[in-house]
Chains A and B, each alone.
Chain A
């Protein structure tokens, strides 16, 4: 098991900017995603909002694995999702290319009610339409547990 990182290494993550990039949800991807939710495809090429988890991550040119690594996760099993906050300013559509940016907006060392140390990291991603309108924002908050497994 890897050692607990210094608190300063965690707090230094604030402001970390991902490279950014673009992402287009293709029809096949929306079909599979929507099927996983148990719903029917939405009309008019609307992508199922469940895409707001991975599309911002991949579109900003990072990955779940890299996000685990940035917080120096002890293992893939040590991450606890605390909350997901998805704001939709318009419907996300299939076959539309969005500009996506992402950064770490908060990172702190905390203790839970049992006195166990964990690191609390908040990521924020924004999707912008070809018309240069903010289409959606995804804020992901994860707990990087330490010495609990």
Chain B
């Protein structure tokens, strides 16, 4: 299988699009799992982005840093962010995301298993659209939250 074949090997758990009309503050967003962060995808991404930073494609460059990360490439920030977008799409549909703000407290490394998670912190109506404000994050079993931020998604448009 091609490394960039669109096979959606990331998995959403217990998720049904459209199952959000009655969402309320405190509800958890169904998780989305990236079973393996692939170094090959970082290379493809670096080429598309014209990103010269060797941290994304040269393990030796990462190993040479005084960060103790070992010989592993660092996932591009937008790619880690994209796992959370995939979670939101699986939850509320492909046109639902209105805003996403992301910070990067820790790096994501190749071969890691990471899980996108989130929780609803507010709901509101804006120009006829029911919106949910959410805290979202990308979690590693041992290292905790690697990325964290917020998102606003449309739950349903009222005509």
Contact = CB atoms under 8 A, between A and B. Distances in A.
Interface of A: 29, 31-43, 46, 48-50, 52-54, 58, 63-65, 68, 76-77, 79-89, 91, 149
Given A53-B78, A84-B77, A38 B49 contact: no
A121 to B, nearest CB: 15
Interface stretch (B23-31, B91-99, B135-143): B91-99
Given A37-B79, A53-B49, A54-B49, 10 more contacts: A32-B4, A35-B2, A35-B41, A39-B89, A42-B89, A49-B85, A54-B48, A68-B52, A83-B149, A86-B100
B79 A86 contact: no
Contacts, number: 125
A35 B61 contact: no
B5 A35 contact: yes
A43 to B, nearest CB: 6
Contacts of A79: 53
B6 interface: yes
B103 A82 contact: yes
Contacts of A88: 97-99
Nearest to B100: A86
A39 to B, nearest CB: 5
A63 B103 CA distance: 21
A63 B6 contact: no
Given A37-B83, A50-B81, A88-B97, A31 B6 contact: yes
Given A35-B2, A77-B55, A85-B101, A63 B82 contact: no
Q: Which 7 interchain pairs have the tightest Cβ spacing?
A: A35-B4, A38-B10, A37-B82, A53-B78, A50-B82, A40-B8, A42-B94
Q: Which of A29, A34, A39, A64 has the most CB of B within 10 A?
A: A39
Q: Which of B61, B66, B78, B97 has the most CB of A within 10 A?
A: B78
Given A38-B9, A50-B78, A87 B49 contact: no
Contact of A37 (B51, B52, B86, B101): B86
A36 B50 contact: no
Contacts of A32: 4, 44, 48
A36 B45 contact: yes
A49 to B, nearest CB: 5
Contact of A39 (B10, B53, B54): B10
B50 A38 contact: no
B102 interface: yes
A38 B101 contact: no
B65 to A, nearest CB: 7
Nearest to B94: A42
A34 B6 contact: yes
B82 A84 contact: no
Nearest to B2: A35
A37 B85 contact: yes
